[in-house]
Structures are given as C-alpha cells and as structure tokens.
Amino acid sequence: MTAPRLSVVVPFYNVGAYIGDCLDSISRQTFADFEAILVDDGSPDDSAVVAKEFCGRDPRFRVVEQANAGLGPARNTGVEHASGEYITFVDSDDLVTRHGFALLLRALDQTGSDFAGGNARRFNNSYGVRPSWLHAQAFTADRLATHVSETPQLVLDRMVWNKVYRRSFWDEFGYKFPAIRYEDYPVTLKAHLEAVTVDTIAAPVYFWRERESGDSITQQKFQLANIRDRVISAGMVLDEVEDALPTVRRRVHAHFRQIDLHSILSAYGTVPPEEEQHLVELTTELIDRLDDDVLANSPRVSQLQFAAVRSGDIGLLREVALDPDAAQDHLQLTKTDLTLATSVREVTWIDGELAIRGTAEIRHLQSKQSALRIGLVIAGRNHRLPVRRFTATDLRGEENLVGFEVRVSRRLLAKCTAGPSHFDVRLRAGAVRRRDNLRGQKAGSPGWPPGAWIDDTNWIQPGPGKDGAFAVRRLSDPCRLTSIEQTPEALVLHGRSAFEEPKLFVSRPLSGGEEALPLEVSGRDFTARLPIAPILKEINPDDPFSQRTTRAFRMRGPQGREQVLLWTAGERLVSHAEGGRVVMLTRSTGGYVNLHESPIRMTATAAVVAGNMLVVRGPDWDEVEFSWRRYLPDSDDHVDVPCRRTVSDDGWVAAVEMAELEPAEWILFATTTEGTAFAVQCEPFLSSRLPLMIPHGGRTLAVRPLAGTLHLEVS
C-alpha cells in the first residue's frame, strides 16, 4: 500500500462537543492524499466514540490509544504512527480550511523548504470569526523560501498547528514535544532556527477555537499550574535563542516581556493568597531570564511592576493588576505618558455632508479646559474643519468634554484624491499640546463606513488608511453595481463600467481561482446573470466554522485595466434561501460587492427602539426562536431572555423589554426546532448604521456588531 503524502496528527481529550466538527473539516480538504492519526489520550468522555464512528465512515482516519499523558506526548505518539512524506498537527477542538493543506503543500513542492505555515483565525459561537493577533503579525504576506533571520516577525509564530512539515526535516532534528502546557513554542521556534528556508502563506489555513467556557489551555492562563508551565516553556525557548542572531534574540525577549510576562503580572488580580508567593517566584524566574535592555525599554507601568516583584510588594502588584490606572498613583507623570488618544465612534451622512463623531483626549490628564482642532489633510494641505464638542465617556470611565463631531462638506470632499486623505487632530490642554492622525475605529459604522455620491461621477468612501488612521478616498467614475433583479433562478446584476469592453470575473479570495460571468454590454453599461443553482450545489465552504464561502467581483478592460466592483445598489442586501442554504449579495467593509453562500443563519437587517422595547428585524428563512443571551464568566452556562417573535411578509421581528436586560454583554441568539443555537448575524448595511445608543431607565444600551454578530452592551 502506497504511503500517503501527508500525515495529520490529531490528539484528543475531553472534546466530545467539538471533535466531530474538527474531523469533518479535515475530511473536506481539497487535498485528499492524507492519513489522519487520531490519538486518544485516555479521554474519559465520548470523544473516542465520535472518533471511531468517523473512522468507520472514512478509511483515511484511524485511532491510536494511549494512557493520559498530555497534549505533547500525544502528539509524539501520533508522529510515531505517521507514514506520510509530510506531517501536520491539528488540535481536536479546532478547524482547518478546506484549501489549507493544498496551499501549504503547493508552496513546499515549489520551493523545497523545510516547512510552510499559514495565517489563522480565532472563532467561537458568540463572537464569530476574527483575526488571530499573533498570526496577523507573522503572516502578513506570501513569502517563499524565507527564514526567521530575514523575517524576524516569525519569532511570533509560536503555534505548531498552522503548518506542514517535511517529515525528513522533522526526523533529522528529532523534534519532541515536552510534557507541559505551552509545548508548541520550544519546538516551533527551534524549527524556525534550524530550517534552511520556510514558506509563509497570508491566507488563513487554520481556525483556532476560543471556548465560551474558558477551559482551553490558553484561556486558563491565570491558574498557577498553567503559569508554571508557561515559565518552563519560556525558559526552553530562551535557551534556544541564547546564541541566535541579535535581532532574533532581542525580538524573542521583547515578545516574552510583552505577552507572557504581561499575562503573568495580570494574574495577581485573581491568584488566591496562599499562591501569591509561588507566583512571585515564577514571575521573578522569568524576569531574571530577560535581557536588561528589554526590561529597561518597557512601559513605565511595567517597570513599576518589575520593581514590585523584586521587592515582594504583592499589595501593589494586586492593585495594578485589578486597575492598571492605579499605577499612576505611584508614578510621576512624564511627557511621554501624556499621549493623544482618539477614537471614531460613528460615521454617517447628514444633508450630503460626511459626519464623524468620536473622542479626543490626552491620556492621564485631568484638565477640564482644552482646545481641539481637526483638519482634513488632502495632498499635503490641511483644511480646518468646524468642530462641535460634547460630553462623552473618557478613558477613565468618567463623563468629560472629550466627544467631538466634524462634518466635511461636498465641496471639500470633491478635492480628495484616490489616495487616502487623513484627519489631523491637535489638542491643547493647559500648556500641553499633542497632535496625531485620527484613529481608533470602534465597532459599527466606523468599521463599515457608508460611502456616498457627491456628484454624478464621484464616490466618497471612508475607511482605514495608512497605519490604521481613519481616512477618506474619492473614487472617480468607478466600476459599480447599480441595481439587482431577483428571479427564481438567478440574480441579475446591472451596473456601469469605468471603461469600454468590460469583462466581469468572480473569485474566491480565500481559496483562489476565478471564473468569467457572461455580460450583456451597451457602451459602458452592463448586465450579468448569476445563476443560483450552481452556487448552492457546491457545498464545500472556505470558512469551516460559519460554513460560508465569499465571492468577490472584479472588472477588467482593455490594456489590463482592472477595478473591484463597487456597491452602489441601495442599502439592503439581496438574498435567496433554498434547501437550508442561503445566497446573499451584499457589500464588504470597504464598500465593494460580495456574494456569500452559507447554511441558513438568521440575519438581522434592522434594530430600532419602540417604546420600552428593543426590536430587531430580518428576513424569515427558518423556524427559530430568539433570545438575548449572556454567558456566565468562564463557563458554557448562560442566561437567556426570550424575545417575542412575530412573522409577516417583511420577515421576522424579535422584541424584548429593555428592562429585562440587566447590565452585561448580551448576544442575540436564534434556536432552531432541533435545539441548535447560533448567534444572529449582523448584515453589513445594519452594521453601517450602528451603534444604536439607547438611554433607558438610568442605563445605556448600545447595540453593536462584533465579528459579524449582533451584540448589546447594557451599562
């Protein structure tokens, strides 16, 4: 029997609620020549039953049993049973994208590198899917045949599971996972240092679950045993970089200071009194391993905590862990502490003008008197804007004169260029003057800013600019979608091209590939018919959690001219539901046309207040019940407040009395007749109209989108 090209090692322990989805995502791979070794690490729940049932359906999967020894030894056991040319690891509560293995193996076949790694996403049922911060730093671009010495940010790549390793490389250096938590980093960084070259893929290949219960290893970070293993793991990594290149060594030391040491210092707010001295000893052990210059370049609050550790001042450590602002009572403020902090809270169009509401303040400064100046910088010229100021919640949670609103006229917007024009903010409080670009976009309309025509041919699109600054761009005569017709079999797209002889292409950004749509063209106007049946038929989603596939549209003309298709077709999505699945044509965060196909998930398209009721509406695709849900701390247990559900020709309505919702963070959930519950999606056009701020009975209710789901904060 021919050995498979790829061996997939999946250790499992107490994951009966998750392992079925994990194995299903592996089985759906576009790369099919693999074996999956499922290592039962003495699991006491029904995980083995689920795994063995799956093996009975797919001969590529098999179970290996061992007494409980931990995740690292279980991975080692899997490697011993693996026979593939390549090897990869998947944690049994996570998911892999259907194209992930293929992308990584394609790179390795092209370059001959020792291993390849790809980007990752975090996900759970409450918050949906969002970027993984660490991986977003390391996997910013496709890089073939690189190395950590050339790409120092790869020192942040500390997980083993978003990679495919060449088995000959793995065996040559004899990698073994230690029997501790945080067992990945010592192996992963050692491999980065010993590899000749590695490949990085910017596309997400792995989905990393964040459990509501908080019982994953990384979510138990404040437990003493977890911290002890974290310090042991850090020591092993620091040993590996002792003689590494100075840039690599310094980056690793700085990373431990920024991430691991910060996390350990935060534990002083929760550790029981009998464990405090043990925590001091572990913290001291890590501090003593880090380079003095890295510690000296830490923020002053961190340096205060380091000094408190060395002096054994547990009271101060506890105080700062519970309230970081309390550190200022023990520090003399310097000029570097008084930085400008801005945020964008709301983006709307009012009477043809772009209106932006946000906050601006100087950190740690209590002054009540200040002067604020904001200008729009276009091609290097600063155009001063009228500023209206109002009271808002500041960084200390107090009500102060930190809120502002500016409006940008059509006349001024017409001067904008295709490049981003940013907002210059200057704030003077007493003798202190600070200046920076406007940044800090919050959830809702700042993340999904609405665009608008300022005349017949010029479209203004707000959004993120350089270095995360909030900016606006003028699109002159863009390729755009102007209207949509629905027929039982197809979506008919009408639009206008920026050039003659246009061609329209549909692509899948995550998995690649494109196809042309036939066009009827009259001058620069076009019509395209998008059949629904072929889209619904292809059930192999790019997103293994939401089971969603996203398609984007791009127009091409003569001489290689190309533009992404802009959405100018109204402020509501167009959808077609059939056979338990739904196709939705809508806009992206940047205002471009997206087509989503997924299983039916109830989607909110409106949120309003009616008397003492909070009312949410959406298209009626399925028989469900609605409730606002809040999870108990570090638990899968939750409290539900049922909604009153009604249905009409316009769709479903879920209404709840606002007085029933106590101060907490709530998520709107839909529960099917079979008992399956999922968070209600927030469609993009609703996101562009949020947040909805509701004062009610001495409290404030804020409806916001978070990672694509609808949330309500009651304070």
CATH number at residue 453: 2.60.40.10
Shared-domain flag, residues 402 and 488: no
Shared-domain flag, residues 555 and 630: no
Shared-domain flag, residues 227 and 307: yes
Q: Residue 518: inside a domain, yes or no? A: yes
Q: Residue 215: inside a domain, yes or no? A: no
Say what the pLDDT of residue 407 is. 98
Cβ contact 113:165 at 8 Å? no
Shared-domain flag, residues 237 and 366: no
Shared-domain flag, residues 507 and 359: no
Say what the pLDDT of residue 257 is. 95
Q: Residue 214: inside a domain, yes or no? A: no
Residue 477 CA to residue 612 CA, distance in Å, equals: 45
Q: DSSP letters along 521-587, please?
A: EETTEEEEEEESHHHHH----SBTTTTBEEEEEEEE-GGG-EEEPEE-S-SS-EEEEETTEEEEEEE
Q: Residue 18: inside a domain, yes or no? A: yes
Shared-domain flag, residues 11 and 74: yes
Shared-domain flag, residues 194 and 72: yes
Shared-domain flag, residues 403 and 525: no
Question: What's the CA dihedral at 363, 130, 590, 588 to 10 degrees?
Answer: -150
Cβ contact 614:631 at 8 Å? no
Q: Which domain holds residue 688?
A: 603-714
Which of these three, 434, 456, 472, is where a domain ends? Answer: 472
Shared-domain flag, residues 578 and 610: no
Shared-domain flag, residues 496 and 454: no
Q: Residue 282: inside a domain, yes or no? A: yes
Q: How many domains does the chain have?
A: 5
CATH of the domain at 489: 2.60.40
What pTM value is reported for the model? 0.85
Q: Residue 332: inside a domain, yes or no? A: no
Say what the pLDDT of residue 267 is. 92
Can you list the residues of the chain whose pLDDT is less than 70? 1, 212-222, 367-368, 634
Question: What's the CA dihedral at 19, 24, 30, 34 to 10 degrees?
Answer: 60
Say what the pLDDT of residue 218 is. 43
Backbone angles phi, psi at 20, to 5 degrees: -60, -45
Backbone angles phi, psi at 471, to 5 degrees: -150, 170
Say what the pLDDT of residue 216 is. 43
Cβ contact 412:376 at 8 Å? yes
Q: Which residue has the tokens 């494109």?
A: 514
Shared-domain flag, residues 161 and 294: no
